[in-house]
Amino acid sequence: MKIIVAIKQVPQRDAVIRIDAAGKWIEESDIEWALNESDAYALEEALLLKENSGDPASEVIVLSAGPERVGVTLREALAKGADRAIHILADDLASRDALGVARLLAAAITSEKPDLVLTGLQSEDLGLGQTGVILAELLDLPHASLILQVELLVAAAPHTRIKVKRELEEGWFQEITLPLPALLTIQSGGNKLRYATLMGIKRAKLKECRVLSAADLAAPSGSVVTLASVSLPQRQKSTQILTGSPADAAATLVEKLRTEARVL
Amino acid sequence: MSSILVVQQAGRNRISFEAMAAGRVLAQMTGLAFETAAVGDPNATVFIETSGPQPAAAHAIQHPLLEQYTSDGYVLAFEQFIRKLAPAYVIFPHTYQVRDFVPRLATRFHQVLISDVTSIEPGPAFTRQLFQGKMNGSYRHHGEGPCFVSVQAGAFPAAPPQAGTTPIHPFIPEIAATDIRTSPGEPFRASSQNVDLASAQLIVGVGRGIKDAANIPLVQQLADALGAELAASRPICDAGWLPMERQVGSSGQTVAPKLYLAVGISGAIQHLVGIKASQCIVAINKDPHAPIIEIADYAIIGDLFEVVPALTQAVKAAKQ
């Protein structure tokens, strides 16, 4: 079973984000980067499926588009157990909309002929939540989104059908059966994430990381939707910030909740 | 005729009405007429009631193969309908269903959905949140072809519902059973919900800031002192530090307490939609720029490991 996991490198959760001088994007120079959270769950699901496939020829390939720094995140995925990596080297991703980025990924995926393509549900930076679903359309694959669990319905290779658990709103779920090949977007929390072992980190250095240039992929560029500017959100409410020592602030808060907000 | 099409989702009336409100904002800005469509029977509730002024036309997209939602079926049906209607804009409520099929639908038109929009400014420019709500981005659509937009829950206040009087036109798409590649099962709930957060009056919500499962008792003690229920943001339940039934947000429960006290919760939109109806929101957070601070009534900026024990003491002292 061949599984491709499309992953994204995003600013670390605690990163202090500043708008750049032009007001068009963020200042990227001093940011620490990390693997997007739901993509980490997509990778975990792929590694579990490989282990459960009963097929020694099973393979997990991680794929990412972006500048040189993205190589670090791909190497971390290899250390966790992915077999090889494909890096679409592109410095101009910001000039592509979601369709433009998906076209790059699709061009790299097509020649691999995978049985399953996984992506995280949504990125923590742009939060468009679309790349996976667009990819499914470009690759002409059936898809399911917001997936928590994947089950192989055929005990041994070749695996032709899967059953997935999809999250719906407000605590509801649904099971969906799909033929392979298919694409799934993975929701966070379905599995426990593994850490890279020391051995895994050593082995990752020897694994293949193929670099493709965006120009080689002949994916049309240009955007129908553009991000014109970024700004800080306006305050919606007048928030009272309570200052002082923890004990003073706590006492003031209790007093205000009793007498001002009248909720205690 | 070029128009604004608002697609409503049967069974999701409230957010559908908010999409109608967004459609009217855009109609006023552009001078275009607005129409509405939904999958389902013309007698379905989504058309019996409408919100605000009556749309210029209403369309019921009907087919036996659309009775159960599938991405393949919906993409095909809406592709045919939108090609026929040729609207300038198509507006959806940003539901899980819309997230599942509209990016695929837009791709058929070589378009990109502008998802989860919170406001529409002249241009038109569409504002949506970036970096989990830490920033806003202003998006524009270029060129020909319908502009696909989905609107965030709560962003566009819906007018009160009234009887719908617009005549309903049926639209029957061509779909074959073989077009639908997936087999969906009936929706189910994982387990009986033992914790009813929806009716709780006081809730202490805990997020990533708590750092470790071993620190949960710290917030439990605060909840106990207040007589409050303990709730959590998604990462806490994903990590297994609290059971899933205590999760608040778009994938968990929606709450409306008198007091929601958010401890170490940054306030990603998925969490905020679950707590917006709270009468009073308090945030304890080390980051003065966390989105939760924006919507809080009161905030203490500081280390929760110092502030929470102090607050527990202050609550106990006040009750004596």
The letter for the amino acid at A115 is D
Q: Answer yes or no: is A205 within a domain.
A: yes
Q: Answer yes or no: is A7 within a domain.
A: yes
Q: Is the pTM of this model over 0.90?
A: no
SS3 annotation, B41-62: CCCCHHHHEEECCCCCCEEEEC
| CA A9 to chain centroid | 8
Q: Are residues A46 and A134 in the same domain?
A: yes
User: Can you give the pLDDT at residue B54?
Assistant: 85
User: Can you give the pLDDT at residue A234?
Assistant: 76
Q: What is the mean pLDDT of residues A231-256?
A: 89
Distance CA B303, CA B285 (A): 7
Q: Are residues A39 and A140 in the same domain?
A: yes
CA-based nearest residue in chain B for residue A229: B138
Distance CA A57, CA B235 (A): 34
The two structure tokens encoding residue B124:
């038109």
User: Can you give the pLDDT at residue B49?
Assistant: 74
Percent of chain A having pLDDT more than 90? 79
User: Across the interface, do B181 and A173 touch by the CB < 8 Å criterion?
Assistant: no
The two structure tokens encoding residue B263:
């401890």
User: Can you give the pLDDT at residue B44?
Assistant: 65
User: Can you give the pLDDT at residue A214?
Assistant: 86
Residues of A with Cβ-Cβ distance to B280 under 8 angstroms? 257, 261, 263
CA-based nearest residue in chain A for residue B259: A263
Q: Answer yes or no: is A171 within a domain.
A: yes
The answer to whether A28 faces chain B, any CB pair under 8 Å, is no
Q: Are residues A12 and A121 in the same domain?
A: yes
The CATH number linked to A134 is 3.40.50.620
User: Across the interface, do B110 and A99 touch by the CB < 8 Å criterion?
Assistant: yes
Q: Answer yes or no: is A189 within a domain.
A: yes
Yes or no: say if A146 and A185 are a contact pair by the CB < 8 Å rule. Answer: yes
Yes or no: say if A143 and B104 are a contact pair by the CB < 8 Å rule. Answer: yes
Q: Which residues 133-152 on chain A approach chain B with CB closer than 8 angstroms?
A: 133-134, 136-138, 142-146
The two structure tokens encoding residue B288:
């003065």
User: Across the interface, do B139 and A126 touch by the CB < 8 Å criterion?
Assistant: no
Q: Which residues 73-92 on chain A approach chain B with CB closer than 8 angstroms?
A: none
User: Can you give the pLDDT at residue A260?
Assistant: 87
Domains of chain B, with CATH numbers?
4-179 (3.40.50.620), 197-319 (3.40.50.1220)
pLDDT above 70 for A235: no
List of chain B residues with pLDDT < 50: none
pLDDT above 60 for A211: yes
> Most confidently modeled of A36-50, A156-170, B229-243?
A36-50
User: Can you give the pLDDT at residue A106?
Assistant: 97
CA atoms within 13 A on the CB side of A163: 8
The two structure tokens encoding residue B61:
């997209």
Q: Are residues A169 and A250 in the same domain?
A: no
Strand partners for A166: A147, A174
Q: Are residues A167 and A238 in the same domain?
A: no
ipTM of the complex: 0.91
Q: Are residues A159 and A210 in the same domain?
A: yes
Q: Are residues A107 and A208 in the same domain?
A: yes
Percent of chain B having pLDDT more than 70? 97
Q: Answer yes or no: is A223 within a domain.
A: no
Q: What is the mean pLDDT of residues A174-188?
A: 97
Q: Answer yes or no: is A224 within a domain.
A: no
Q: Which residue has the tokens 């099929």?
A: B101
Q: Which residues 122-141 on chain B approach chain A with CB closer than 8 angstroms?
A: 125, 128-141
Q: Answer yes or no: is A227 within a domain.
A: no
Q: Are residues A190 and A253 in the same domain?
A: no
For B314, the 3-state DSSP assignment is helix
Q: Are residues A35 and A135 in the same domain?
A: yes
The answer to whether A223 faces chain B, any CB pair under 8 Å, is yes
Distance CA B70, CA B97 (A): 9
φ and ψ of A124, to 5 deg: -85, -10
Q: Which residue has the tokens 């014109």?
A: A228
User: Can you give the pLDDT at residue A236?
Assistant: 64
Per-residue CA distances from A245 to A239, A252, B272, B302, B309 (Å): 19, 10, 28, 9, 12
Range of the domain at A260: 233-264
Mean pLDDT of the residues in chain A: 93
Neighbouring CB atoms inside 10 A of B154's CB total 16
Tally of domains within chain A: 2
- pLDDT tens digits, residue range A68-89? 999 999 999 999 999 999 999 9
User: Can you give the pLDDT at residue B43?
Assistant: 73
* Of the candidate ranges A103-112, A253-262, B83-92, the one whose mean pLDDT is the lowest: A253-262
The two structure tokens encoding residue B198:
């929806």
